[in-house]
Structure formats: structure tokens, C-alpha cells
Structure 1
Amino acid sequence: MISPVPDAELVDRVAATTGLSPAEATRVIDDVLAWHRETVEDFVRRRHAHHQTYGKRNDEIFTLIAAELAERAFAAPELSPRQLRRIVYG
């Protein structure tokens, strides 16, 4: 997925408050946005692979991932106008 260019005012703010160059601030912002755009499914797959790499077994891995999920914010799924109406009106 190609991310949109971060808001210029945000880039200026991050650069000014951190001492980063505008290019570095843009990379940091892109990285943070990508982190929060990760889907639950992608997160679970990534974390499962990570934990397997370090020798954990599935029963332990799934307990760890469940705890990690409780601490993490995820991007909202894309919703159609109909789905949005159902949320509001039932």
C-alpha cells in the first residue's frame, strides 16, 4: 500500500520538536502510520512467526498474542455506507 504524503504542518511540527530533518520526520510519520494501519490478521501472523522463531509453542504463542492484542490499537476496517447505517440505526 502506498501511503499518502504526511501533512506538511505535521512534518514541520515533528521536525521542529525533535531536531529531525523534514525527510527524517516524514519517514518517522510514515512508519508510525503504517504501524497503526496494520490489520489484526497481519499482526497475528507477524507475531506468530516472531514467537515461533524464538522457539515458543503454539499454546504459549496464542496466549501471548491475545495479551498483545488487548494493548494494541488497530485501523478500523473499511465499512460500506450500509454497514455504517446499521451501526447507527441497528
Structure 2
Amino acid sequence: MLADPDLVAHLVATTGLTTAEAERVVEDVVAFHAEPVEAYVRRRHAHLKTYGAKNPEIFAQIAAELADRVVGAPELSERQLRRIVYT
């Protein structure tokens, strides 16, 4: 995916980044937010489990995080989150 030229120009003008660096930043941010919901849920569950969190608090936190994403994911119940993680 090509970075939006207007956004790249704005970053170059306001940050001191080179054009190549600004393009890379935009592409990285877009890729981060393009992660599918299922992949995000599995990744976050594994990460939080690593630090000793229990499933009820993990699923509550993931549900809250999904609601705050730039492009909001659909609202998922705890049961739907469990199915994503364990299937």
C-alpha cells in the first residue's frame, strides 16, 4: 500500500523526517491498524496471559481495547472472544 502523499508531506514538514522515513511511518501505522480482529485478540490474549492475567480480566480488557481502536471492531461478547482464542 502506498502512503498518502499529503500525509507524508505533512509529516515531512512538521517532524523533520525524510520523505522515505515518513512513508515508512505511515505504512507501519496503517499495517498496525489493519491487523484482523481475530489476530489481534489472539495476540493480546497470549501477551496478557504471559503476565499472569486471568481470562475474565483479559477478555474485559480486550473488549475495551477493541472499542477504542481507530477503526472500531464489532462489539464482541466474552463468549465470542473465547471462541476466537480457543478455535
- TM-score normalized with structure 2 length: 0.71
Task: Sort the Cα spacing of 1:63 and 1:36 in 2 relative to 1 into closer, same or farther, 3 A.
Answer: same
Shift of 1:75: 7.5
**Farther off after superposition, 4-13 or 24-33:** 4-13
Report percent identity of matched pairs.
58
Aligned to 2:9: 12
Off by >6 Å, runs of 4+ in structure 1: none
CA–CA separation in structure 2 for the residues paired with 1:51 and 1:19: 36
Q: Which amino acid is 1:67 matched to?
A: A
What amino acid does structure 1 have at the position aligned with 2:22?
Answer: A
Deviation at 1:10, TM superposition (A): 2.6
Alignment gaps of 5+ in structure 1 = 77-90
- Asked if 1:35 corresponds to 2:27, the answer is no
State the partner residue of 2:19: 22
Contact between 1:38 and 1:75, CA under 8 Å: does it hold in 2? Answer: no
Query: What residue in structure 2 maps to residue 57 of structure 1?
Result: 54
The separation in 1 between residues aligned to 2:57 and 2:71, in whole angstroms, is: 23
- Number of residue-to-residue matches in the alignment: 73
Deviation at 1:32, TM superposition (A): 1.2
Deviation at 1:12, TM superposition (A): 2.0
**After superposition, where does 1:63-82 map in structure 2 within 5 Å?**
63-74=60-71
Give 1:72 deviation, angstroms.
1.3
